[in-house]
Amino acid sequence: MSNFGTAADRKTETGEILAKQGRKYWLAGTLFLFVVYMFAAARPIPQETIMVPQWLSSLESGYSMPLAGPESAGVPDGESPVPFQLGDRFGYVDAWGALPINRVKDRNLFLSVPYWAEYDDMPEQIEILDNAGSPLFSIDETGAAQGYPLYLDGRLFLIGKEMNTLISLDDEGKPLWSYDFAAPLTCIDGAAGFILTGSLDGAVEILNPEGKQFFYFPPGGSRIPVILGCAISRDGSRLGIVSGIDDQRFLLLERYGDPGRGEFRVVYHEFLDDGFRRPVHISFIDNDDRIIFERQEGIGIYDLRNRANRTIPLEGTVLALDTEGSGNIFFVISTQGRQKELVGIKLPGTIILRVPFRSDHVFFRRSGPRLYLGGGNALAAFELGKR
């Protein structure tokens, strides 16, 4: 009897310890999100605009805590789960905070809205899975140049190991076409069936849906002519480029003449002081009415409607950008080591929100009026609304 009692006591003590550890992990993981909730969600952003907290989800336990009723979510039925990577964890989170996939990364990772895969450095094939974890097909690399999967503009690609070959794949992972570049790629974007690339030798190229060169342009004007950032508008009619080291420039190009001939011309350019010696963030936002790009002082915003530019000063380095900028607001996360800051900017360029926090890793994504944020061991969602 005494032995039975001792085992029960030990079991109870073990359960209490595990419960305390679980609470500890939960509190540690949500500390960052609590700060965001206190300073962002509870205050008006600009006048009449608020951030409504929706849920908190722990990556350690997989538990999700709702913070608002379903009537406030405003999420359309059938919305795809959002892919996330936060520290050594990755997976998908749905609009209600559930985690259909929540894994620890231990190999190379390919992650997109419909597809994901983990694979070795020299795989004979890469197994592609859907966002529920079900196998779909395999990319067979035994007879082709090995590379890295990439999802752009609703299509699957493979970038060669040397970063100078692009292979278009069909829905079963079979090659459709391939294109060889003269130098390794340094940036890539896709829209309207076109693929925009920038390379180490300072060349900008556009490939058409059949993998043929549609446009070629070396911006030049710099001692080191490398392309550090590139973006293409959703209709494929405009290009944004950050080019060169010493001097570095931002260039905006627009298509002219016959749309089928691939003719673009520079309509604006600006020198960016010393600039960066690494890839930079650049994206069209606000229904392609503006383009934002990383510059040494912070964020540059060029308004395509009135042909005006401005700079938003930021401290630290840009870690993540809101690539939508809808609703007249966009967000940036900057970093200085573990010190991070969420910055909300009302277009055309007024800072209306600053939320400092500390975290080794950060996840950020926007989907319409919803913001997905991650720090520590937790994810959260906020809804932009009016009142």
Walk me through the domains of the chain, giving residue ranges and CATH numbers: 2-102+190-386 (2.130.10), 107-180 (2.40.10.480)
More confident residue, 129 or 50: 129
Length of the chain: 387
pLDDT for position 358:
87
pTM of the shown model? 0.87
What is the pLDDT confidence band of residue 45, given thresholds at 50, 70 and 90? low
Span 252-279, pLDDT tens digits: 999 998 877 889 999 999 999 778 999 9
More confident residue, 76 or 55: 55
3-state SS class at 9: helix
Say yes or no to pLDDT of 320 above 70.
yes
pLDDT for position 26:
47
The Cα–Cα gap between 281 and 297 comes to 13
Span 107-159, pLDDT tens digits: 999 999 999 999 988 888 899 999 999 999 999 865 555 789 999 999 999 99
The Cα–Cα gap between 234 and 141 comes to 31
Nearest of 196, 190, 192, 185 to residue 147 by alpha carbon: 185
The phi, psi pair for 195, rounded to 5°, reads -120, 125
Span 10-25, pLDDT tens digits: 344 444 444 444 444 4
Give the mean pLDDT of 348-357: 88
pLDDT for position 47:
58
pLDDT for position 143:
53
pLDDT for position 20:
47
pLDDT for position 140:
85
Give the mean pLDDT of 30-59: 66
Span 152-181, pLDDT tens digits: 999 999 999 999 999 999 999 999 999 999
Cis preceding linkage at 258, omega within 30: no
Average confidence score pLDDT of the chain: 86
pLDDT for position 33:
55
The Cα–Cα gap between 352 and 333 comes to 14
Write the DSSP assignment of 58-111 as a string of letters: ETTT--EEE-S-GGGT-PPTTPPPEEEEETTEEEEE-TTS--SEEEE--SEEEE
